[in-house]
Structure 1
């Protein structure tokens, strides 16, 4: 004896091996035995054999007209076996019973299942709605397949072009457009970015990179709404100093300037003057919300997206000839011994004498000229005292570090002679060695300021945001811990409040500590254990990393464009490790497939085979390696 039964939505026919009151043991054609419940058995039969019966029943079901079945079926709930006898006009065979069951089961819009072998025909209005839904789904499937076929062929259908901009950011995965696109990606065995680029959703890889970044981080545009800057510190005392700033030519947010006042006997009073936007930006006001939303200025070749509105930058940037409020750190130093004799922090106004630029001074300000009092040196009365004390500061840090700093790496500025969003824009790579005297000089005083102001906060118990390094790991926290790599006991970013939100927060705290001393912890914007400081650290780290990643990506892109514009087919590089090579002519690190085992620092010559501007990878191979 054989039985037809249902198993997980499928119909099976097998031979009965044994049975009990509630269960049966059945055996398949392959000899596999399994235990089933009697409750799942639809009917038993003697012939034909199970496999043949299933085959013939399915063939019969395919010939049955579902519409006709629905018209013939009883209007109430019915048993399939009873209906089979009425339909065929005689006691049905096993094939006929099974065929009818298969037909009823395959048309859920027409027949609603009511239990084992029992069905109820759908009411006319419900059937009409169900058939309309099925037809709609069929047409959608056809439309989806048509779009997928076009994408696979390299064409972008107009309906998909209208929403293609969402596919890489926040796709609506329930839409036909996305499903067609996803199917095409799978069929082409490619990435979504490559498929969109090949189909012309964006004119070039640069447009795609920029779209993805700006759509994610600046969906409403990168311009701040117009604002009016107030509370510019007009009532602050005026400092009688001659202050200069030193920056790149592209700098519009001049955060810092320095002054030197001789005191006699090799003693000078050095002022480090930091722009004070914290006078107009208060915790939780509108300006603060604007700054906190961005956390930092975004830098990419050819474009800068400021953290603050331009009106605030204009009001507080230390521009030449302007009187500006500053948070000033004054240190009294002995240039002969390097001893720091006194320090003072105060809020005041200063007039900036001049904004000096690296591109005009770097070639003139050499170590030889700085160290030789008889050598010609521009701004010598300002530069030489700063340089002498900076040398002491550097040496003192080296003692703490246990070794001198290695700052010989060449850095590059990217200068675009045209729009930043046009790949044909000529790009120039302008090299500058990090250990240039002006760079080292400015860096020492920024380190000194971040160190002393971090100590000021710690001394008065005023919470701040510190940047520390211990056991090689750099982290930001509210704990005043050492920065081992720099060689200072405290390090709180506070010298770039126009460009970094952490510096702005620390400026509020420093101003409170300078004015109120030990009682500052009670009046500072952030009190001890303020949970919002921890939230700021988390948000800043995340946002700062996102900005840095995009800057790195765009610099890699423009390096590749520069190599192409220079028509370079062969380049030299230096092995970093394994198959990583740093190019000598550009700030670009690339992998070289099948690179043999070479020593670190070994010079190699590479052939450039191609450029993947989407993956930002250089395709190259080893031509030759210099002797180790």
Structure 2
């Protein structure tokens, strides 16, 4: 005897080996034996064999018309055998019974299961809805298959063109388009990014990296037109006193947001009045107004080679930037300096209109304004005498910071590195190296550090909060103490060698500086009553929120800048490769298998690099690179020199570096002077093991 039974939602047949009142011992066609409860047995039969029954039952089930079967079933609950008589019109064979069970069980939207072998026909509305759903899924499956074929053929389906970025960066994984994209990628053994590039969904690798950043940080676009639609055009104040100076700025040739300018005036008593003039958009923007909301949402100008996304609308930047030939609103810090020893006699801050006589560009002056030329009074260039004065004072300011660093247990700053400027035109990149610490760099850097420190003290003395950057304060190990922190009260910055440091000199492009400018203007205008009228009072919760939000966004912006600089470094290789000039390159060992190239600011990891000291110079054979993954492959050729004869690496490569941010080598370098080496190369703890405190000055 054989039985057809249900087991764990499946139907099986086997021959009976033995039987008790409550169960059967059954041998399946596979040879496996199983104990089956009597209540689970649906059909008992002598012939055909169990294996033949299953085969015939499936064939019969495929021929049963579900719609007719559903009509025959009626509305009442039924047993399968009763329905079989109605449908087949005669006594059923074991195979027909089993086939009917298979068919009933395979159509749960037609028949609801009510028990062992018992069912009930679903209502007509439910059946129609289920059929519609099945048809929809069928059509979707056909459409998905069509999309997959189009993608495999290198064509992007029309419906996917408008959602290419969403599919890459924030996909709905249940969507038809995403399923088609992933299916095509699996068949082609590629990634969604590369498939989008090959089908035209993303135009280029550059657009891939750029669009990913915009999708996350600027989902509504980078323009200001929709934000400024209901905002009155900005205006210049007309009641400011005009400063009796001829100020000048020093910036990269591409700089448009000119935040700072300098001036030198000889006083009747022989003292020097050195002016540091900072653009004053804080006069046009007020806390919680519409433009403030725009600036606070962006927090900073975003830099990348060849482009930028400004923090403030262009209309306001054009009015308040310190452009040549104009008198523009500024917050000025005047230091009276004794030229006999270059000591600071006094300082005073003013809000005024400052005439700008020139916008000097270091691209054209770096080779002229050298240390030797300044020492020998050589050359002919604008503001020559003023720059000579500022150069002498800048060296004294630097020496004072170095002495304070030494008092805090830190070594002198390292200025033996090269900085790099990126210039992009028509997707052709030029990467220009320039020595860090040139006279023009040092003049601007030292005077901006002086201003940020002095104004930080001004806010603290008046009892109002500001946004400070500190380093070396707190407990923990050396790495923890050397981490740069943002605070709302004055605290030392050991790495810079100043008692306090408040970003205040870039209000056109950094929100923290704009906030500090409001606070500084309150001190200038109201003196001892500043705590009563300053936009941000002590313990203002909004100020803490600004600090937190700025930290998060600024880190993201810097990561993006690093990504784009790395991309353009690889594009530079593509250009040089075509010219047969980049087959082999030189690099300096940063640590273990991490190298920094000499000619461009590209940091790579080279697996299998022989063990050698930090600072060793090596030659590499370039194998290839990938502009999508931003990876670079090379092969070690030879050791060129040891660190004793080539000091090509300093501690900056080992640790977190912000760089001398007030060096105006380019606007982008004000935000981040180096590419991050990568997660493993920026292990600041390893630097601590090398020499506690051996780091470059970083604001």
Per-residue Cα deviation, 1:224-272 (whole angstroms, up to 9, x for no partner): 2266554533212222223221111111111111122334777422221
Aligned partners of 1:361 and 1:50: how far apart in 2?
96
Moved more, 429-438 or 10-19: 10-19
1:483, 1:207 → 2: CA distance?
39
Q: Could you tell me how far 1:430 is from its partner in structure 2?
A: 2.0
Q: For 1:589, which of 591, 603, 622 is the aligned residue?
A: 603
1:408 corresponds in structure 2 to 416
> Matches of 1:26 and 1:443 in 2, distance apart?
91
| Residues in 1 aligned to 2:315 and 2:67: alpha-carbon distance in whole angstroms | 74
Answer yes or no: is the 8 Å Cα contact 1:466–1:479 preserved in 2. yes
CA–CA separation in structure 2 for the residues paired with 1:13 and 1:106? 18
Q: Give 2:466's aligned residue.
A: 464
Closer, same or farther: CA 455–42 of 1 in aligned 2, 3 Å? farther
Does the CA contact (< 8 Å) of 2:468 and 2:489 recur in 1? yes
Please tell me whether residue 512 in structure 1 is matched to residue 522 in structure 2.
yes
Structure 1 stretch 280-289 or stretch 12-21: which is displaced more?
Answer: 12-21
Distance 1:33 1:438, change over 3 A: farther
Q: Secondary structure at the match of 1:397?
A: helix
Q: Does 1:102 align with 2:102?
A: yes
Deviation of the 1:115 alpha carbon: 4.3
Q: Assess, with a 3 A threshold, how the Cα gap between structure 1 residues 366 and 93 changes in structure 2: closer, same or farther.
A: same
- Between the aligned partners of 1:27 and 1:268, the Cα distance in structure 2 is 108
Structure ranking higher on relative contact order (CA contacts 8 Å, 6+ apart): 2
The match for 2:284 is 280
Partners of 1:370 and 1:377 within 8 A in 2: no
Match of 1:4 in 2: 5
Encode CA deviations 1:184-217: one digit per residue, 9 max, x unaligned: 2233332210111122323432233333334444
8 Å CA contact 1:229–1:280 kept in 2: the answer is no
Q: Measured at CA, do residues 509 and 82 of structure 1 come closer, stay the same or move farther in structure 2, by a change above 3 Å? A: same
When residues 377 and 485 of structure 1 are mapped into structure 2, their CA distance, relative to the original with a 3 A threshold, is farther
Residues 15-414 of structure 1: pairs in structure 2 closer than 5 A: 41=40, 43=42, 45=44, 57-87=57-87, 96-225=96-225, 229-230=233-234, 232-263=236-267, 267-372=271-376, 375-376=378-379, 378=381, 379-402=383-406, 403-414=411-422
CA-to-partner distance for each residue in 1:351-407, whole Å, 9 max, x for gaps? 1122111122222222233344x5556434312322222222211211222221112
1:568-626 CA-to-partner distances (Å, cap 9, x unmatched) read 22222222223322221112122334322232222222222223111122232223332
Corresponding residue to 2:485 among 451, 461, 475: 475
The C-alpha deviation readout for 1:513-562, integer Å capped at 9, x for no partner, is: 22223432221111222222222223222322332223222222222222
Whether the 8 Å contact between 2:4 and 2:98 is mirrored in structure 1 is no
Query: How far is the alpha carbon of 1:178 from its aligned partner?
Result: 1.9
Match of 1:522? 532
Corresponding residue to 1:599 among 613, 622, 637: 613
The CA distance in 1 between the partners of 2:530 and 2:13, in whole Å, is 86
Task: Report how far residue 327 of structure 1 moved.
Answer: 0.8
Describe the superposition over 1:73-114 as per-residue Cα deviations: whole angstroms up to 9, x where unpaired.
233221224334554567766655443222101012322334
User: For 2:182 and 2:532, how far apart are their aligned partners in 1?
Assistant: 57
Report SS of the residue matched to 2:169: coil
Q: Answer whether contact 1:231 1:279 (CA < 8 A) is retained.
A: no
Q: Note the residue ranges of structure 2 that are not aligned, 5 or more in a row.
A: 473-480, 643-699
Aligned-partner Cα distance in 2 for 1:520–1:597: 60
- Output the CA distance in 2 between the equivalents of 1:525 and 1:100: 81
In the aligned structure 2, how far is the partner of 1:154 from the partner of 1:207? 19
- Specify the SS of the correspondent of 2:119: strand
**49-58 or 187-196, larger mean C-alpha shift:** 49-58
Aligned length: 616
1:473 aligns to what SS in structure 2?
A: coil
Q: Kindly provide the CA deviation profile for residues 313-364 of structure 1, in whole angstroms up to 9, marking residues without a partner as x.
A: 1211111221111111122233443433222222122211221111222222
Conservation of the 8 A alpha-carbon contact between 2:164 and 2:202: no
Cα 1:390–1:266 change in 2 (3 A) is farther
Task: State the Cα distance separating 1:11 from its structure 2 match.
Answer: 4.2
Q: Are positions 1:503 and 2:505 aligned together?
A: no
Change (3 A) 1:254 1:63: same
Change (3 A) 1:571 1:335: same
- Per the alignment, residue 453 of structure 2 pairs with 451
Cα distance 1:161–1:28, how it changes in 2: closer, same or farther (>3 A)?
A: farther
Match of 2:547 in 1: 537
Equivalent residue of 1:383, what SS? helix
1:365–1:377 CA contact under 8 A, matched in 2: no
SS in 2 for 1:195: helix
In the TM superposition, residue 65 of structure 1 has moved relative to its aligned partner by: 3.1
Question: In 2, Cα distance between the equivalents of 1:518 and 1:2?
Answer: 100
Cα gap change, 1:228 to 1:87, in 2 (>3 Å): closer
